[in-house]
Chains A and B, each alone.
Chain A
Amino acid sequence: AQSVAQPEDQVNVAEGNPLTVKCTYSVSGNPYLFWYVQYPNRGLQFLLKYITGDNLVKGSYGFEAEFNKSQTSFHLKKPSALVSDSALYFCAVRDGDYGGSQGNLIFGKGTKLSVKP
C-alpha cells in the first residue's frame, strides 16, 4: 500500500533562514508525490508535484522539493522563509495505478511550520 510519512510534527524557523519540511514515501511502482499547504480555517492549496523528470521540482510561493529515489524522500524546501509561510504542510502520494481511474491522494499527518520574525 502507498504511504507517506512526515517525521516532524512541527518545524520552527527564523524569518530569512532556509526551511526544510521532511517527507518520506513508500510505494509500489513509480511515486506521484505532492505537497499541499493549509492555512488556518482554509482548504488545502496545491504547492507542487513530482510525476517524472527532474528531481528538483519548483512550485508556488518560492517553494521547491527534491525527489530522492534512493532515500525515498521528497523534502519541501525554501531558501528564505517568510512569516507568512507559517501554516500546516502536507505531503501526499497518489493512490492507484499510473493512468488509472483511481486518483485519490494519501496524505501524511502534516507538519506545522512556524516562522518567527
Chain B
Amino acid sequence: DSGVTQTPKHLITATGQRVTLRCSPRSGDLSVYWYQQSLDQGLQFLIQYYNGEERAKGNILERFSAQQFPDLHSELNLSSLELGDSALYFCASSVDPSNYEQYFGPGTRLTVT
C-alpha cells in the first residue's frame, strides 16, 4: 500500500457526461501528479500540483481540469466525455517536486459508453 488513495475505483458513465476523480496524497506529500494510462497512448502525464499551485502541464485536454485543495487532496475533472477518454487514471504524490520518488495510487478505471 503506497499510502495514496483514489476514489472511486471504477466509474462507468456515458458520452457527454462530466466526472470527478479524487486523490489523497501520502501524509506529508505536497506534490500531486495525474497520469492517464490507456492501451494506445501508454502512461501519459497530465498535470502536476505542488502545495495548491499548478506546476506543470502535460498532454491534458482542455476538457479536463484539476485542482489541489488546502488539505492537499486533488481532484481531476473530466467533462464532455468521449469514448476515447476511457482509461485508467492514476494519481501519484511526492514530498516535493525535487523528491524524485513518486508513489502511485491504485487508480480509477473510467469507462465511457
Contacts and interface: CB of A to CB of B under 8 A. Distances in A.
Interface of A: 32, 34, 36, 42-46, 49, 51, 90, 94-96, 99-110
Contacts of B90: 43-44
A43 B98 contact: no
B80 to A, nearest CB: 25
A32 B100 contact: yes
B56 A45 contact: no
Given A44-B90, A94-B100, A101 B50 contact: yes
For this complex, into which size category does the number of interface residues on chain B fall?
20 to 34
Given A32-B100, A105-B45, 13 more contacts: A43-B90, A95-B56, A101-B98, A102-B55, A102-B56, A103-B55, A103-B56, A103-B102, A106-B45, A107-B35, A107-B44, A109-B42, A110-B42
A32 B96 CA distance: 16
B68 interface: no
A104 B100 contact: no
B100 A43 contact: no
Given A43-B2, A43-B107, A46-B103, A102 B43 contact: no
A103 B58 CA distance: 11
Contacts of A94: 100
Nearest to A96: B56
A99 B101 CA distance: 13
A95 B100 contact: no
